[in-house]
Structure 1
Amino acid sequence: MGPSSSIRAWRPPVPGVAEVLHAHFPHHAYPSHTHDTWTLLVVDTGAVRFGLDRHEHGALRNLVTLLPPHVPHDGRSVDADGFRKRVIYLEADQLDVRRIGAAVDHPGWADPPLRHEVHRLHEALRRAGDSFEAESRLALVCARLEGHLAGLGTAPPAPDRTTARRLRELLDARVVEGVALSGAGQDLGVSASHLVRSFSAEYGIAPHRYLTGRRIDRARRLLLAGHRAADVAVAVGFHDQAHLTRHFKRLLGVTPGAFARSASVPAGRRRRASPRSAAR
């Protein structure tokens, strides 16, 4: 008996994402079926042959595959060892439904930057506490998909400095509470993808990385003032201490604990105010 199928499926708390599926199918073949979502698919091992609206296509490792809602498709492995895939099911309104015909005609692209961004989106969706990063990455992915579907390729949008500045002001005002990208877009009267692209073009950094940097700045000051990392994490807006540690080490190369121990201020002279009040 060969290896059995394995899957992991979940619904992340990210607007626009209906479901995420990571699966290894050594033998399974999909019969013809439909979804009410866009199916954003990357294959990590093997290859998948699928029929879409009575035409044959292949989902390969170097491609990003997009199957439109309400269009019948099936799927089966090309290799004897099966395939591994990762899928994000996007709510139908995340992409222009008028592009369904374009997706039927051309359901995949060899676009390495897009595939890398889809991978990073999956990583963000796997982690608790990274919903703002996932929203930002989702906006970038959808914008690039829209460009392909519209036949525009990856042409950069016109800069919008006013929108970028207004988003930065909003992020600065809500460092601890955080911002829902979809809500910020509604408040500023633009799409989430326009927000992310404008901000990234103006400041050279994605909004979620900017917000993380501001939180790390506050965390550093609290750690040097003698507060515990677990308290600091919540006080500056991180999900928990592990979330703080991951971002802190990625940015500074050391853990929050090691950073705090480097302080030259004697412990007895450090401030005793609560980290929440000190973070403001």
Structure 2
Amino acid sequence: MPDTPIVTSDSFGWSGMRLSGWEGVSPQEAHEPVLAEHLIVIHMTPQPVQVFERADGYRGEGVARPGDINVFSAGDLSVCRWESELSFLRLDLSPSLTNRVAEELELPGGGGAVDFGRHIRLNDERVMQVARWLYEDLRAGGPGGSLYAESMIRMLSVHMLQRYGAVSARTDNQPLRLARTQVDGALQYIHAFLDRELSLDAIAAAAHVSASHLVRLFKQATGLAPHQYVVRERIRRARDLLLAGRPVQDVAASLGFSDQSHLNRHFKRIVGVTPGEFVRQCR
């Protein structure tokens, strides 16, 4: 197989992170003297692979197994050499994003440069799960949209900060909660622009909170993550439009779904039947 990624997020307009998936990369040495961004590498080769790795403060040889995770901070040296074909996911996380998230979360030291240190062959199910969700969305053509991706990227950033960052989590026991007026601002914005591509930053601005706070606290207020709430409300509106006689294809286009099959999938998951079946049952 060619030594190029089988899929990347480059054309999907993601902000703050680039994800690339690589399969069967031939034996070689990857050398980056100064990483421009924080780097997370998740080994995906089905069988164990002998690797030699070097980073600032680390030098060693070992066996990489499926699910092993390496983390390097921006500015670090990163060297990896492998002796047989290697498959992996690569996540390049923007320092400007992680620094901003640390500041938004009001973490001690927030506003300064974040350092995640160097970690070789970690096992972290949360990092693995978020990466898997994003990768599956890419492979499917990005049906979740930018709001979904931004939510996942910020979720990953918060987790990385709290578990590996030089910045610590808040020590007080009083959770930050959205005021009722802030919740109303976010909800009013979502309902006003259900037919458009909604971004996490725009919803957060309407709520007068940071995007990271919105991701963490929106579920406390509504019981759903922002992207889940948006999908649910679009399906609710789709039901009304279908009952008013609008064709399924037109409904999908008017509510921001990528195509009719995208609407069908979410409609059946939430309502229990396809849009066509729903219309027939209601006649």
Same fold (TM over 0.5): yes
> Structure 1 residue 199: deviation in Å?
0.4
- Structure 1 unmatched ranges of 5 or more: 265-280
Alignment correspondent of 2:157: 142
| Residue identity matched to 2:188 | E
> Structure 1 residue 190: deviation in Å?
3.5
> Structure 1 residue 193: deviation in Å?
1.8
Question: 2: CA distance between counterparts of 1:201 and 1:207?
Answer: 11
> Structure 1 residue 222: deviation in Å?
1.8
> Structure 1 residue 53: deviation in Å?
1.4
| Residue identity matched to 1:27 | S
1:115 to 112, 115, 128: 128
Q: Which runs of 4+ in 1 moved over 6 A?
A: 153-157
2:281 to 242, 245, 262: 262
| Residue identity matched to 1:21 | S
> Structure 1 residue 109: deviation in Å?
4.3
> Structure 1 residue 118: deviation in Å?
2.2
* TM-score, structure 2 normalization: 0.77
Whether the 8 Å contact between 2:197 and 2:256 is mirrored in structure 1 is: yes
Are 1:131 and 2:131 an aligned pair? Answer: no
Question: 2: CA distance between counterparts of 1:73 and 1:43?
Answer: 15
2:248 to 214, 229, 237: 229
Higher mean C-alpha deviation, range 63-72 or range 228-237: 63-72
Whether the 8 Å contact between 2:29 and 2:82 is mirrored in structure 1 is: no
* Alignment coverage as a number of residue pairs: 257
> Structure 1 residue 117: deviation in Å?
2.0
> Structure 1 residue 26: deviation in Å?
4.5
> Structure 1 residue 154: deviation in Å?
11
Are 1:67 and 2:72 an aligned pair? Answer: yes
Residue 249 and residue 40 in structure 1: after superposition, are their counterparts in 2 closer, same or farther (change >3 A)? Answer: farther
Whether the 8 Å contact between 1:133 and 1:208 is mirrored in structure 2 is: yes
Are 1:252 and 2:251 an aligned pair? Answer: no
Residue 168 and residue 61 in structure 1: after superposition, are their counterparts in 2 closer, same or farther (change >3 A)? Answer: farther
Q: Deviation per CA, 1:65-101, whole angstroms, max 9, x where unpaired?
A: 33222211012337x4x3221122222212136222x
Are 1:76 and 2:81 an aligned pair? Answer: yes
Alignment correspondent of 1:32: 31
Whether the 8 Å contact between 1:38 and 1:69 is mirrored in structure 2 is: yes
Are 1:159 and 2:162 an aligned pair? Answer: no
1:53 to 53, 56, 59: 56
> Structure 1 residue 175: deviation in Å?
1.8
> Structure 1 residue 150: deviation in Å?
3.9
Q: Deviation per CA, 1:154-176, whole angstroms, max 9, x where unpaired?
A: 99982312244532332233222
Q: Deviation per CA, 1:27-56, whole angstroms, max 9, x where unpaired?
A: 332332133122232222245552211513
> Structure 1 residue 107: deviation in Å?
5.8
SS of the aligned residue for 1:89 comes to strand
Question: 2: CA distance between counterparts of 1:165 and 1:103?
Answer: 40
Residue 241 and residue 49 in structure 1: after superposition, are their counterparts in 2 closer, same or farther (change >3 A)? Answer: farther
- Structure 2 unmatched ranges of 5 or more: 100-111
- Tell me the percent identity: 26
SS of the aligned residue for 1:56 comes to strand
Higher mean C-alpha deviation, range 209-218 or range 176-185: 176-185
* TM-score, structure 1 normalization: 0.78
